[in-house]
Chain A
Amino acid sequence: MTDLIDTLASIVPGSALDAARARRPAARTHAEASYQSLLLPAEPGDVSIAERFAVAAYVTGLHRAEATHPHYAAGLAQHGGTALVKAVALAVVETLAEGPKGHFPPGPLNAEDTPAPTFALSAPVAAALGKRLEAAFAHAHFLVFHPRDAAADRFRPLAEAGWTTDAIVTLSQLVSFLAFQIRVVAGLRVLAATP
């Protein structure tokens, strides 16, 4: 059965990569189930479906994930509306950076430190996103580009914007899962095109 990774990677039934994916059946099944549970859960709980697709459209945009981003932009249009699609696209442009960057704990690894990309949204984009999504995007930006700059106090702005601990775990899983899905799709597309 074709799943989202197959669709985004243009893997067709009977192809060599269809056969390779079939040899890792649980990874295939549960990558799809991860997508379903993080983007389209039956019970969205503390994170709405529109918020999930907004984060996904933002994260795939930051990755320049050409094969993956359109799916989430379309999902956001469906679940969040076109105004939000536009705001997310502008947020991507305003905060685009390169990774992985960041700092190591004090010691010899500081020789490898690189400055953290900044996250700053223009006032109209921040207003269009609202407090909750602005805080979520700031966190996603850190997770995407410089996760080694982690600190306990990074959760404070999320909490202040109304993100519960359960919702922060879901947000962290969502961004991190997308970091996986984006790379599987990109990697398998190159593999399929390289005999």
Chain B
Amino acid sequence: MPDTIQPRTAPNVFTRDHLDWLPWLEPLAEAELTEKHIAALVDPARAKSDYFRLLARDPDALEHRTRTDKDIFYNTDAGAPRADRELAAAAVSRFNGCIYCASVHARFASTYAKREADVDRLLAEGVGADLGERWNAIVAASVALTAIPMTFGPEHVQRLRATGMDDLAISDIIQGAAFFNWANRLMLSLGEPATKA
């Protein structure tokens, strides 16, 4: 690595702070990105990201991952509110131990829900934190889907239904939690978080 990079420290607690991410494998260089790579990034601005330029080594896998991600989290046609989907992402990240992913989605969850204290409790105490019944139900469902063996059962669906969620909302929680089992494994294994330089 160039010696102009400032020394940084790896975060050792869960946080809502903005973090950087440093790759362990060589990303494609910006200059070598073809039209196919740029299309796979979906957002051309992601050409500045080491993470996305590393994933661009398999452009089809990157593009379909990204479009799946965006629809699960950003599609505003009914279903679970964005805050609930982000909470599922943050809870899975906390449980798997992805400090970087948890930081991003804890910020989103707290922004959309305006519940910074509850999100901080999840980060500090873990997935057993008491966040009120609706969020407890979402965290419990997300954890049950993440554990191996999976423990997700009818009781988790019934608990979500009791908070007023319909099939679409519950399927949003399922897809959001499932997606972070994808995202966490990439973020955790291909590089590491660092405090901002």
Contact = CB atoms under 8 A, between A and B. Distances in A.
Interface of A: 16-17, 19-21, 23-27, 29-31, 33-34, 37-38, 41, 62-65, 97-100, 102, 104-109, 112, 142-145, 147-148, 150, 152, 154-155, 165-166, 168-170, 172-177, 179-184, 186-188, 190-191, 193-194
Contacts of B95: 100
A169 B145 contact: no
Nearest to A177: B182
Interface string B126-160: 10000000000000000001111110111011100
Contact of B55 (A19, A147, A169, A183): A169
A100 B179 contact: no
11 contacts: A17-B171, A31-B64, A33-B64, A37-B58, A38-B61, A100-B95, A105-B99, A154-B189, A169-B190, A183-B152, A191-B167
- In this complex, the member of B12, B58, B179 whose beta carbon has the largest number of chain A beta carbons within 10 angstroms is B58
A183 B157 CA distance: 14
Interface of B: 10-14, 24-26, 54-55, 57-58, 60-65, 67-68, 70-72, 75, 77-79, 95-99, 126, 145-150, 152-154, 156-158, 161, 167-168, 170-172, 174-175, 177-179, 181-186, 188-190, 192
Contact of A190 (B68, B72, B79, B154): B154
Contacts of A187: 145, 152, 171, 174-175, 177-178
Contacts of A62: 148
Contact of B78 (A23, A41, A166, A172): A23
B12 A180 contact: no
- In this complex, the member of A17, A23, A63, A193 whose beta carbon has the largest number of chain B beta carbons within 10 angstroms is A23
- In this complex, the member of A20, A33, A65, A181 whose beta carbon has the largest number of chain B beta carbons within 10 angstroms is A20
Given A64-B149, A183-B146, A100 B97 contact: yes
A63 B149 contact: yes
A177 B149 CA distance: 17
B58 A173 contact: yes
A23 B25 contact: no
Contact of A170 (B58, B70, B148): B58
B185 A20 contact: no
Contacts of A165: 25-26, 57
A184 B190 CA distance: 24
Nearest to B161: A194
Given A26-B67, A190-B156, A194-B154, A170 B61 contact: yes
Nearest 3 Cβ contacts at the A-B interface: A107-B12, A148-B97, A187-B174
